[in-house]
Amino acid sequence: MTTALNPKYAFDTFVVGAANRLAVTAGRTVAETPGSAYNPLFVYSGSGLGKTHLLMAIGQAAKKLAPGLNIEYLTLDEYVEAFHAAIAAGQGDAFRRRFQGVDVLLVDDVQFLAKRKEMQSELLRLTEALQVAAHQIVLTSDRPPGEIADLDERLISRFSGGLVVDIGPPDYETRVAILRRKAEERAARFAPGVLETVAGAAFDNVRELMGALNRLVAYQAVNETQINAATAKQLLGLKAEAAVPAGAAAARGAAPAGDEFGQFLADVTVGLGKAVEAWRARVAEAILRWEGEGYRTRRLEALLEQQAPAAVDDAIDAYEKDVERLKVLETEVAQLDPQASGQSQFRDPERLADAEAAAAEVRTGAAPPPGPSAAFALATYAVGPSNDVAVSAARDVIKRPGKKYNPLVLVGKSGLGKTHLLNAIGLELARARGAVVACLSTQAFIDELIAAIDGDRVDWWRARYRRATALLLDDVHLLAGKDRTQEELFNLFNLLLDKERQLVFTAPAPPGALEGLEERIVTRLGGGLVAEISEPDRELKRHFLEQALAQPGTPPDAALLDYLADRPVDSVRSLIPVLQRVVSSAAAQDVPLTAGLARDVLEGQPREARRSGGLRTSGIVVSSMGGVKSREKMVWDWPDVADRLIEEYR
């Protein structure tokens, strides 16, 4: 499959001039230290200027220095042919392994990669593999990588990442040197001035020059006479004035000195090339790194297309800063809305502005979860023996959220103040810096999830609650039969518990007695503290009434408090309508609130003013006495008795 290296094509037989000195020096360096200096080395030149010679010379020299090296030379066409044959035989992998094991790969005429996408991918893969393994690859082409039609940009950047050198047409001195050497090889002797005359003609490449020499050699051999310069001109059809440059003789005379400077120039060129090209390596390295992390690197690739861009390191730094910013944005967005975080703008530093806008949008959309109601302050929560365990647990939770009782489940019948205590805990927890307290009814929780499913925003919904530093759910028994919500709560529960974030629930009965809840939810609810709130005792009721009837400067009538506290009610909530009736009556009659009035209202005949009512607001009732009560479950507009009778009668 591969071509053997032609022993004639060695560095010793390569005539070095100004036009090819850099390429030869680079080639020698590569042969001496394969895989470390310029990898890949890309040599391009017009036809007949010595690319193949140089490629083979590199192979020969490398082999000579390290006979154990596995060196392969082949043209691109041979490579393509071999690849197709391997694929046809089902040996694609073996083919790849074989080339990946080559120490120095010399590929000639890669310009034929033009429009061969499949082979380009294959060569890209091979180049990457060889570079990673520090194996040398040398390529030649008749044009620079960027000019090969439809060449994959990644290949262009790969090829440019090593060293790209060209071989120009030989100058006059080099042409003379080539002609002399070739004449010697052919054992041909020419009269003085003949070879100089040939060299003076503007041959574009060495092959044409060889053709001219061959004609002279043949002519001289046939005629057995030495030809002179004039005959040579005639034979080759050169114009009479095509002449040796004026300085040629002088150049010959000063050859060693000229070489001294030329050699210095070549060395500086290589050194400077290395130094200046070092930026390409840095850019290529940055491209590899960020591409590997999934970021678009168009901006960096654009740098490689420039010959000598200004401030490359600044450009790389700016790029990296943008990537860091994208990372921050993506992380933030992932927390708020995981679905949004995968968007392409978070992977393209060119679209940083888009990413900022998207993040801002997500931030705006990611409203915090519903918080506790400000109406239920802890200070207004009446405490008595019937709820002191729950209140004490609540205070512990407020003091050390997530540490002591987690979860805290407040259990009790309706109207015993569970919601108040739950919200009061939430309010206290929300005071902490950076706290995000989710406090809502289980029904609202379910409704939100349904809306999220409907809007295909479940991830967003989840993220919203996962941000919470505390989750407080009222009436958790409403989860019964809501499998999906239970599933979500289960996951959220575990996540928050792992992060030591406080969980508080309320339920009408201990978790074990709740029907319709999955076992895994029940066991988790029971895993913290289940604090029961029982029917309000007298002390609690009195405390509640005291707060409800409190007026600045005037303490409530003690007898009234005692009387109302002794009323048989099964919950604090039941006490509210009772109190409301007394307060309304006093307001209607414009008399002070007393135990006597209360007794009249609650035990005697209903007064005229009963219907006048307190001041109604939406949800919260502010009585004329200044107390605050929930209007839940209260009937405000009783029908007139006569109307009711007529209704009944009909």
Partner 1 sequence: MSLVNFTTREITCKIVYYGPGRSGKTTNLHYVYGRVPEARRGRLVSLATQTDRTLFFDFLPIDLGQISGFATRFQLYTVPGQVYYNATRRLVLQGADGVVFVADSQARQLDENVESLQNLQSNLLEHGVDVRAVPLAMQYNKQDLPRELILSPADLDDALNFRGVPSFAADALHGTGVFETLKGISELVLKRLAAGSTA
Residue 144 beta carbon to partner 1: minimum distance, rounded to whole angstroms = 13
User: Parallel, antiparallel, or unpaired: how do β-strands 437-441 and 408-412 relate?
Assistant: unpaired
Select the span of 237-245, 260-268, 345-353, 367-375 touching partner 1 (CB under 8 A). Answer: 260-268
268 binds partner 1 (CB under 8 A): yes
- The runs of H, that is alpha helices, within 143-227 are 153-161, 172-185, 194-200, 206-223
- The stretch among 206-214, 226-234, 255-263, 475-483 that binds partner 1 (CB under 8 A) is 255-263
Q: Does 269 bind partner 1 (CB under 8 A)?
A: yes
276 or 558: CB nearest partner 1: 276
- Tell the smallest beta-carbon distance from residue 309 to partner 1 (Å): 8
For the bound state, the minimum distance from the C-beta of residue 173 to partner 1, rounded and expressed in Å, comes to 12
The residue written with tokens 């048989």 in the block is: 568
Sole window of 63-71, 86-94, 154-162, 262-270 interacting with partner 1 (rule: CB under 8 A): 262-270
Q: Classify burial at 6, counting beta carbons within 10 Å of its beta carbon; exposed 0-12, middle 13-18, buried 19 or more.
A: middle
DSSP, res 212: H
Site string for partner 1, 288-307 (x = CB under 8 A): -------------------x
605 binds partner 1 (CB under 8 A): no
Is residue 264 near partner 1 by the rule CB under 8 A? yes
- Rank residues 31 and 312 by Cβ distance to partner 1 and give the closer one: 312
DSSP states of 379-424: GG----TTTHHHHHHHHHHHHSTTTSSSSEEEEE-TTSSHHHHHHH
Closest alpha carbon to 238 in 216, 206, 222: 216
Which residue, among 404, 441, 435, has the nearest Cα to 422 in the 3D structure? 441
Stretch that binds partner 1, among 65-73, 308-316, 467-475, 575-583 (CB under 8 A): 308-316
**Is 161 or 417 the residue whose CB approaches partner 1 more closely?**
161
**Residue 36 within binding range of partner 1, rule CB under 8 A:** no
**Which residues does residue 322 pair with via DSSP β-bridges, in sequence order?**
none
* Nearest to partner 1 of 275, 642 (CB atom): 275
CA–CA separation, 350 vs 31, rounded Å? Answer: 41
**Cα(506)–Cα(563) distance, integer angstroms:** 31
CA distance 394 to 528: 12
Binding of partner 1 at residue 272 (CB under 8 A)?
Answer: yes
Using the rule CB under 8 A, which residue among 265, 360, 451, 646 binds partner 1? 265
- The contact mask relative to partner 1 for 314-343 (x = CB under 8 A, - = no) is x-----------------------------
Told to check if 279 binds partner 1 by CB under 8 A, we report: yes
Considering only 46, 48, 193, 309, the residue that binds partner 1 (CB under 8 A) is 309
Nearest to 404 by CA among 282, 519, 531: 531
Q: Name the segment binding partner 1 (CB under 8 A); options: 311-319, 326-334, 469-477, 482-490.
A: 311-319
What SS3 state is found at 437? strand
Is 310 an interacting residue with respect to partner 1 (CB under 8 A)? yes
Helical segments of 455-571, H only: 458-466, 483-498, 519-525, 538-548, 558-565
- The residue ranges that bind partner 1 (CB under 8 A) are 257-258, 260-261, 263-265, 267-269, 271-279, 307-314
